[in-house]
């Protein structure tokens, strides 16, 4: 299993889509928005340079979790690789767990790089404890999106999984308030935003940088989405391997 996980990680790191959409694009968006609005403050008194940092880090994590699962999973299913894995000593749950673990590992560069750019370019300064809590919350909170990527890759072809995952990433990012702060979009859109897991995912980070700790309600919602999407991914994986 460690060898399989290492192979998966190295293979995905060679993917140019990962470098562009997961690492470079969130940093570029942060630089654009932070330089335009960074000196302003949100209703809670937190500067937008910090708020946008949380949003773009969350967006990068969302992209990493889905781009590293949906298309590779669909490609492996089509090529017969999943069928080959079935005849190895690796149980199905270990294969799924490895995919999720690799996805979470690939989330880290996006989180760290956005934070580094925020510190260097915007002078963002947070207590060490807040940095650690923020990194852990956004890292582990990306699990539902990795599971969603596996679910997409289990039911769609590789050609269809790529646009489907991109649509999901952009839809979850915009609809969940990652590209635009919730207060900017207005109260009329808030009920729709609250239907999406990204709204609560970003709320974890925003609450931490505001000094309020982790809100239990948001934590429970993210955990609920992780359980639901994880169960869906497991069911769809079993169906995919049976069809294979």
Confidence at residue 137, expressed as pLDDT on a 0 to 100 scale: 95
> Facing residues of 41 across strands?
47
* C-alpha span between 38 and 60 (Å, rounded): 19
Confidence at residue 67, expressed as pLDDT on a 0 to 100 scale: 82
Selection from 129, 137, 118, 167 nearest residue 58 by Cα: 137
Count of residues in the chain = 244
* C-alpha span between 210 and 44 (Å, rounded): 7
Per-residue tokens: 196: 């999406």
Residue matched to tokens 């190295």: 10
> What is each CA distance from 136 to 6, 175, 186, in whole angstroms?
22, 23, 29
Confidence at residue 167, expressed as pLDDT on a 0 to 100 scale: 93
Per-residue tokens: 164: 């489907």
> What is each CA distance from 31 to 36, 48, 120, 198, 223, in whole angstroms?
9, 12, 11, 21, 31
> What is each CA distance from 185 to 66, 120, 200, 222, in whole angstroms?
25, 29, 16, 22
* C-alpha span between 115 and 125 (Å, rounded): 10
C-alpha atoms less than 13 angstroms from C-alpha of 125 in its C-beta half-sphere: 1
Per-residue tokens: 12: 């995905």
* Cα four-point dihedral sign 178, 193, 45, 35: positive
* C-alpha span between 35 and 32 (Å, rounded): 6
C-alpha atoms less than 13 angstroms from C-alpha of 20 in its C-beta half-sphere: 4
DSSP structure class, residue 41: B
Selection from 166, 145, 159, 167 nearest residue 61 by Cα: 145
Helix 143-155 to helix 70-79 angle, to the nearest 10 degrees?
30
Confidence at residue 86, expressed as pLDDT on a 0 to 100 scale: 63
In which domain, by residue range, is 143 found? 2-243
Instruction: Locate the DSSP E strands across the chain.
Output: none
Per-residue tokens: 226: 């992780």
Per-residue tokens: 61: 């994590």
Ranges of the chain whose pLDDT falls below 50: 1, 4-5
Q: How many CB atoms lie within 10 A of CB 192?
A: 12
The number of folded domains in the chain is 1
Per-residue tokens: 174: 């915009």
């Amino acid at each position: 299993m460690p060898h399989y996980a290492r192979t998966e990680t190295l293979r995905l790191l060679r993917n140019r889509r990962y470098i562009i959409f997961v690492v470079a694009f969130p940093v570029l968006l942060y630089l654009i928005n932070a330089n335009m609005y960074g000196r302003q403050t949100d209703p809670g008194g937190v500067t937008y340079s910090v708020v946008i940092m949380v949003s773009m880090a969350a967006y990068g994590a969302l992209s990493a979790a889905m781009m590293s699962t949906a298309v590779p999973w669909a490609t492996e299913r089509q090529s017969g690789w999943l069928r080959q894995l079935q005849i190895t000593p690796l149980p199905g749950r270990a294969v799924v767990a490895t995919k999720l673990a690799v996805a979470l590992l690939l989330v880290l560069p996006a989180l760290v790089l956005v934070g580094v750019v925020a510190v260097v370019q915007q002078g963002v300064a947070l207590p060490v404890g807040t940095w650690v809590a923020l990194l852990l919350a956004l890292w582990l909170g990306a699990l539902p999106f990795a599971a969603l990527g596996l679910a997409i890759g289990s039911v769609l072809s590789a050609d269809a999984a790529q646009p489907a995952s991109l649509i999901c990433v952009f839809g979850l990012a915009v609809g969940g308030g990652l590209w635009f702060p919730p207060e900017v979009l207005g109260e009329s859109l808030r009920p729709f935003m609250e239907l999406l897991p990204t709204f609560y995912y970003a709320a974890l980070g925003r609450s931490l940088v505001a000094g309020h700790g982790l809100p239990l309600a948001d934590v429970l919602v993210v955990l609920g989405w992780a359980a639901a999407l994880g169960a869906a991914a497991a069911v769809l994986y079993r169906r995919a391997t049976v069809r294979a």
